[in-house]
Structure 1
Amino acid sequence: MGWLLHTFTQSEDARVQLIESRTMVGHINALLSMHLERTQMMFLQFAGLIPKDDSKIRELNFRTAAEVKVIEELSSHTKTKQSQWLQLTRTIYGVQEDFDQLRSRYYEGDKMGAMQLIVRSRARINKFYSLVNDVVRQENSNETELQRQLTENNELSVRILCILLLLIVGIAITAAVYVNVNFKRRLDILMDNTRRMSAGLAPLAPIRGGDELAEIDLVYHQMHDAIEILRKHERAMLENAAEAICSLDAGLSFTSVNPATEKLWGYSSEEFLARRVVELIADEYKEKFGAELSQVVGSDTEFRTETKIKRKDGELVDASWSVSWSKEESSLYCIVQDISERKELERIKSDFFAMVNHDLRTPLTSVQMVLDWLEIEMGEQMPPNLLKSVKRAKGSAQEMLTLANSLLEMERLDAGTISLDRNKTDLAELLRNSMAQVEALAIPKDIELKAELDEVLANIDKSRMMQVATNILTNAVKFSPAKSTVTVSLKKNGDTCKVCIKDEGVGIAAEDLKFVFDRFRQVGSTDGRKQGFGLGLSICKAIVEAHDGQIGVDSEEGKGSTFWFTLNTDEA
């Protein structure tokens, strides 16, 4: 670049000198032209061909002086030109002075003196012409040399520019190749890191730099670190999980197991990997279980079932299975729970309710019948104390029988073995009948039973819903103070209706509201007396929900309670 700048500077200097040379020649030609014009004008005046006019001569002298000043300014750039032009200007002024004296003598009548001046001025005029020719010849030679230098400098500049252009192109190509190779290398690292991440391997060393590829690679490293943390957490969860967790391939062979799986079956992880899952299932479940698992392979459904598994020591264990298929890993994921204790509890529970039904309710029914017979047939003949004892025993037997029936009914509701006998029912009439049944409890306490009932039809099991309404009404009367009001309302709202039973009792504490419908829980009694066994409202809740309805309670302590339930209407 310095070489090119130097060449450009030389070219510019040559161009300036060339312009100055041409300008100088132009001014010399102007001087020569004015000299010839002055000479011609003077001799024409001497010959009488034109009138004498000093103003013209003065104008030419003024113009000559101006040209000389310009020439002196141009020649001041170099000492050589300055000395040369000094001789020329002196000669010009000398010729001009001779001509002025010549004119003066001629017009004064001294023609002989004028002729002598003409002869004497020829030497100056010849010198003027000689100087002009030398200057013009020198300027022409200088112009030729400057033109040559300018041409050479231009050609040199072109060559330098071509060299620079080739150099720039070479650098650009080299840089492009380097960038391309570097970009490809960095991109290959990025793609390799992507493949390594998908394979669960650690990425290569981070890409250096601050460009987009380096930022993406940094994100990959951060993702790998986050995934590693999640994998550690996952392994910790699997290893410490209480449930047996295992994975199977499409052929139902084990591919991985957690420690709980080893504990459940009694096999080591190496022994699992050589077996199919159906080999570890009780014989009566093998065929069906294997077919069900094969159907889950490739599907989006989650499969749940219960089987007996065969431990290494030959023991059969009840187990529940939750199985789902992972398309990404082409594996079945299984969660297996030992439900032996639950099955044993269910067996004990079944035996208990069978005992309640056969060993408790049947004798109680017989005792109840005997006590009824004694009261009816022998009551008048019994002493008062004995009759009182019979009635007390009868009441106790009735309570025990009610408890047994409630327990059995709760079990049937839990097991879903009770079928609802649904029919189109007039809910308003049903509620009036319920109010009539509890009227005997309300009269001794002077409690008013108030009804606000819309006419609503619903497709329900009439006897079951009668049981619900009567149970809630009975509780409302029991927990209401004397001379209060229990209000039963039925309101229709579109396709549903809402039954509300409101009392003016002591209410239920806020912290007890969530326990109202729990089994064997009693709330709302402030005197500590137990009134029932805490199963009635639980049964009511189960019956309402079996009708696809909802049940709840709104209460504020000291301001009474409002029990409500909703049902779907059927006006078709």
Structure 2
Amino acid sequence: MRFSLNLVSRTIILTVLLVAGQLSFILVLSDVLRTSQAKIEKQWRSENLIRLTFSICRSFSELILFAHLPGQLLEAVNVDGPAAVNKAKRDMELLHSLAAEDPLKRDAVVKLLASATVLTRTIDIALHEQDHRLPPSFAVPFGYRKIVNDNAKIFLNSVEEIVAIEKKQHTEEPSQASVFSTLTALLVFAVLISVAVAVVLGFAYAVSIRRPLKHLSANARLLSAQKELLPQLRQNDEFGRLDDILHATAREIERTLIQERETIDNAADLICALDENGSFISVNPFAQKMLGFDPSMFSGLNLHDIAVAEDSLLADEYVRSAIQSSDVRQFELRLKCSDGSVIDTRWSCLWSQAERKIFCVVRDVTEEKKIEQLKQDFANMISHDLRSPLMAMGNSLTLLKAGAKGELPEDARKRIDLSARNVEKLIVLVNDLLDFQKLKAGKMELLLEEASLQAIIKDASDLLEETAREKNVALELPDGEIILRCDKNKLLQAAVNLISNAIKFSGENGKVTVAARAQGDRVIFSVTDTGPGVPADFQRKIFEPFEQAPSGKKSEGTGLGLAICKLVVEAHGGTVRAENLADLATDHSAALVSVPASESAARGSVFTVELPKEGPGEPSEISPAERLKEGNV
């Protein structure tokens, strides 16, 4: 059964116990202080009562002397009877008020006050009778002496009784010094008890949290090391819940690692890890299928050990490059298989600074290379083996149309015109293939010169004017003049391809709008059509060779126009992109032409080209042809 008190409850209990202990100490101390104060006040009253008693005794001693001594002696001893009477009266009033609060001495004080009252009255009467009738040297009349003597005895007996009671109380009750010493001892004892209780409770509290904290700390270290955790704490508090979270995290990590291992083991690519020197650390089972080597055989092998001899140095260079790069590094490498065959592979590598490893995904691209080579060979065959015969056929048909063999029948002329147009289309296809091959291989040099962008666009529209008229498509061209440094003929070819593509997809009664503007050190021009637009998932793929946007129309052209356009623009250090007017309806700042406010009314697509005014800069690390091949459009 789990311990039910959580950390907050323990803290509250500890605080309550400490506060309760301090409150108890304060209550006990308050009671002791009240008792001590009462004793001190009682002692003060007793001392004042004795003092007043002795003061009255002194006053009455003077009165008794006054009653017995003759006048001459009274003057000699300086005894003033009336003054002594007045002082005795005042002391008797104070004594009466003090005796009211002390029941033990009350009776004796009453007797003392009664006798003292008789004495003072008797002496007052005697003094009154003596005034103006006897000389000052005469003492109190004899008749009053007996009364004074009798009451004096009562008075003295009362004083002795009061003194006896006071002695008894003084013996039985502790003195003021004893009270203060007791209070000091109590304070010291209470402080020691409070400190001891606080230390014990604090130690118990620390012990109660120390064990679970050590347990959690150990589990955290084991979790970071991906080892089995200690058993769960059987506590229903914060420590228990935190330990539950650690165990749940460990289970989730274990599940994720199992899934990761299963994914790696069942992957259709070779997945491996290399150290800083390019040596294999781990390899997934797909290595057996790709290279014919058991994964255990890679232990101790270096990357250049399985690379072909020609690529061995490249392998080391690629490893260093991957370590220095913070992004995924891609390269191609030919590897040797166990049967002696060679395969082409494409590597995607990422360096982990924390683990000091290179994580690699290796894909077999041998079949892709073969297909690419077949495409290349096919394009070369068409461009080289067909261009010359087609040119000869075109020239022959032109001569026949001109009447070199005499006047042709009308039927023959129609057939020759049809053949000439077909040959012309084939020649255009072959020329496109030749241009594409040159651009892709990076063999076409740019002849840079100052040129007007509007003039290039006007020349392109002139070449396509007849095509636009046949399709009943209106052309709208930009005004003004923007000068940039470019290869005029190559840029003209790109503009022709863009405008031709727009005319083709605008349809009957459509419109093609060409706009241009200068923005800082860049030149931007766009071609907008009124066609169906380009699907979002096709806007990047449309610039790849032999790709055409899906539509209900019959396919026209070679599928190389936009690919050639992209290569020409990138050769100039620029970019080209395809967008839909519907996408620009919510962002008018991104469009060069006016866009309908309604998204539903915005039909068509926009092809935008950005070029540097001063021409291309330094060549990039990856040529336009390589970017096209790798799909980095």
TM-score under structure 2 normalisation?
A: 0.71
Alpha-carbon distance, 1:466 to partner = 1.9
After superposition, the Cα gap between the structure-2 partners of 1:275 and 1:437, relative to the gap in structure 1 and judged at 3 Å, is: closer
1:135-284 equivalences in 2 (<5 Å): 135-136=162-163, 138-139=165-166, 142-143=169-170, 146=173, 149-170=175-196, 189=215, 191-204=217-230, 205=232, 227-228=253-254, 230-273=256-299, 275-284=301-310
Q: Which residue of 2 aligns with 1:509?
A: 532
Tell whether the 8 Å contact from 1:446 to 1:484 is kept in structure 2 after alignment.
Answer: yes
Q: Which residue of 1 aligns with 2:49?
A: 24
Give the secondary-structure state (helix, strand or coil) at the position aligned to 1:382.
coil
Give the secondary-structure state (helix, strand or coil) at the position aligned to 1:380.
coil
Q: 5+ unaligned residues in a row in structure 2: which ranges?
A: 1-24, 582-595, 616-633
Alpha-carbon distance, 1:339 to partner = 0.9
Per-residue Cα deviation, 1:156-198 (whole angstroms, up to 9, x for no partner): 4434444444455555566676677777766655554453343
Give the secondary-structure state (helix, strand or coil) at the position aligned to 1:307.
strand
Give the secondary-structure state (helix, strand or coil) at the position aligned to 2:386.
helix
Deviates more, 1:462-471 or 1:373-382: 373-382
Q: Does 1:396 align with 2:422?
A: yes
Deviates more, 1:151-160 or 1:508-517: 508-517
Q: Which residue of 2 aligns with 1:340?
A: 366
- Following the alignment from structure 2 to structure 1, what is the Cα–Cα distance between the partners of residues 606 and 318? 50
Per-residue Cα deviation, 1:46-78 (whole angstroms, up to 9, x for no partner): 99x99xx999899678647634532540332x3
- Following the alignment from structure 1 to structure 2, what is the Cα–Cα distance between the partners of residues 468 and 434? 9
Give the secondary-structure state (helix, strand or coil) at the position aligned to 1:200.
coil
Q: Which residue of 2 aligns with 1:83?
A: 107
Aligned match for 1:130, one of 157, 175, 189 = 157
Q: Which residue of 2 aligns with 1:569?
A: 613
What amino acid does structure 2 have at the position aligned with 1:84?
A
Per-residue Cα deviation, 1:121-166 (whole angstroms, up to 9, x for no partner): 41331231233144235425644664x5443343344344444444
Give the secondary-structure state (helix, strand or coil) at the position aligned to 1:245.
strand
Tell whether the 8 Å contact from 2:454 to 2:478 is kept in structure 1 after alignment.
Answer: no
Q: Which residue of 1 aligns with 2:487?
A: 461
Tell whether the 8 Å contact from 1:282 to 1:309 is kept in structure 2 after alignment.
Answer: yes
1:396-435 equivalences in 2 (<5 Å): 396-435=422-461
- Following the alignment from structure 2 to structure 1, what is the Cα–Cα distance between the partners of residues 81 and 317? 138
After superposition, the Cα gap between the structure-2 partners of 1:570 and 1:325, relative to the gap in structure 1 and judged at 3 Å, is: closer
- Following the alignment from structure 1 to structure 2, what is the Cα–Cα distance between the partners of residues 411 and 365? 19
Tell whether the 8 Å contact from 1:7 to 1:156 is kept in structure 2 after alignment.
Answer: no
Q: Does 1:286 align with 2:330?
A: no
Q: Which residue of 2 aligns with 1:381?
A: 407
- Following the alignment from structure 1 to structure 2, what is the Cα–Cα distance between the partners of residues 561 and 250? 49
Q: Which residue of 2 aligns with 1:540?
A: 565
Tell whether the 8 Å contact from 2:62 to 2:81 is kept in structure 1 after alignment.
Answer: no
What amino acid does structure 2 have at the position aligned with 1:340?
T
Tell whether the 8 Å contact from 1:243 to 1:337 is kept in structure 2 after alignment.
Answer: yes
Give the secondary-structure state (helix, strand or coil) at the position aligned to 1:381.
coil
Alpha-carbon distance, 1:270 to partner = 3.3
- Following the alignment from structure 1 to structure 2, what is the Cα–Cα distance between the partners of residues 9 and 561? 100
Give the secondary-structure state (helix, strand or coil) at the position aligned to 1:308.
strand
Give the secondary-structure state (helix, strand or coil) at the position aligned to 2:406.
helix
Deviates more, 1:305-314 or 1:456-465: 305-314
Aligned match for 2:142, one of 92, 115, 118 = 115
- Following the alignment from structure 2 to structure 1, what is the Cα–Cα distance between the partners of residues 100 and 515? 125
Q: Does 1:329 align with 2:363?
A: no
Tell whether the 8 Å contact from 1:427 to 1:457 is kept in structure 2 after alignment.
Answer: yes
Alpha-carbon distance, 1:255 to partner = 2.4
- Following the alignment from structure 1 to structure 2, what is the Cα–Cα distance between the partners of residues 379 and 194? 97
Per-residue Cα deviation, 1:313-333 (whole angstroms, up to 9, x for no partner): 444322112233323222222
Q: Does 1:69 align with 2:93?
A: no
TM-score under structure 1 normalisation?
A: 0.77
Alpha-carbon distance, 1:449 to partner = 6.9
After superposition, the Cα gap between the structure-2 partners of 1:203 and 1:109, relative to the gap in structure 1 and judged at 3 Å, is: same
Alpha-carbon distance, 1:107 to partner = 8.5
- Following the alignment from structure 2 to structure 1, what is the Cα–Cα distance between the partners of residues 132 and 459? 168
- Following the alignment from structure 1 to structure 2, what is the Cα–Cα distance between the partners of residues 282 and 559? 54
Alpha-carbon distance, 1:21 to partner = 0.9
After superposition, the Cα gap between the structure-2 partners of 1:461 and 1:368, relative to the gap in structure 1 and judged at 3 Å, is: same
- Following the alignment from structure 2 to structure 1, what is the Cα–Cα distance between the partners of residues 472 and 289? 67
- Following the alignment from structure 1 to structure 2, what is the Cα–Cα distance between the partners of residues 300 and 511? 35
Alpha-carbon distance, 1:337 to partner = 0.8
After superposition, the Cα gap between the structure-2 partners of 1:567 and 1:260, relative to the gap in structure 1 and judged at 3 Å, is: same
Tell whether the 8 Å contact from 1:207 to 1:217 is kept in structure 2 after alignment.
Answer: no
Aligned match for 2:332, one of 306, 312, 336 = 306
Q: Give the structure with higher Rg (CA).
A: 1
Give the secondary-structure state (helix, strand or coil) at the position aligned to 2:375.
helix
After superposition, the Cα gap between the structure-2 partners of 1:90 and 1:449, relative to the gap in structure 1 and judged at 3 Å, is: closer
Alpha-carbon distance, 1:341 to partner = 1.8
> How many residue pairs get matched?
560
Alpha-carbon distance, 1:22 to partner = 0.5
- Following the alignment from structure 1 to structure 2, what is the Cα–Cα distance between the partners of residues 325 and 186? 39
After superposition, the Cα gap between the structure-2 partners of 1:221 and 1:318, relative to the gap in structure 1 and judged at 3 Å, is: same
Deviates more, 1:398-407 or 1:154-163: 154-163
Per-residue Cα deviation, 1:485-525 (whole angstroms, up to 9, x for no partner): 9776654444233445677xxx212465866767453689x
- Following the alignment from structure 2 to structure 1, what is the Cα–Cα distance between the partners of residues 229 and 354? 21
Per-residue Cα deviation, 1:415-440 (whole angstroms, up to 9, x for no partner): 44433232232434434444444455
After superposition, the Cα gap between the structure-2 partners of 1:109 and 1:495, relative to the gap in structure 1 and judged at 3 Å, is: closer
After superposition, the Cα gap between the structure-2 partners of 1:177 and 1:482, relative to the gap in structure 1 and judged at 3 Å, is: closer
- Following the alignment from structure 1 to structure 2, what is the Cα–Cα distance between the partners of residues 299 and 439? 51
In angstroms, what is the RMSD of aligned CA positions? Answer: 4.9
- Following the alignment from structure 1 to structure 2, what is the Cα–Cα distance between the partners of residues 114 and 177? 89
Q: Which residue of 1 aligns with 2:496?
A: 470
Deviates more, 1:341-350 or 1:123-132: 123-132
After superposition, the Cα gap between the structure-2 partners of 1:419 and 1:243, relative to the gap in structure 1 and judged at 3 Å, is: farther
Give the secondary-structure state (helix, strand or coil) at the position aligned to 1:454.
coil
Alpha-carbon distance, 1:97 to partner = 6.0
Per-residue Cα deviation, 1:299-354 (whole angstroms, up to 9, x for no partner): 75754322232334444322112233323222222211111221121122122212
Deviates more, 1:219-228 or 1:265-274: 219-228
Give the secondary-structure state (helix, strand or coil) at the position aligned to 1:329.
coil
Alpha-carbon distance, 1:268 to partner = 3.8
Give the secondary-structure state (helix, strand or coil) at the position aligned to 1:532.
coil
Tell whether the 8 Å contact from 2:119 to 2:152 is kept in structure 1 after alignment.
Answer: yes
1:341-380 equivalences in 2 (<5 Å): 341-380=367-406
- Following the alignment from structure 1 to structure 2, what is the Cα–Cα distance between the partners of residues 169 and 453? 95
| % identical aligned pairs | 24
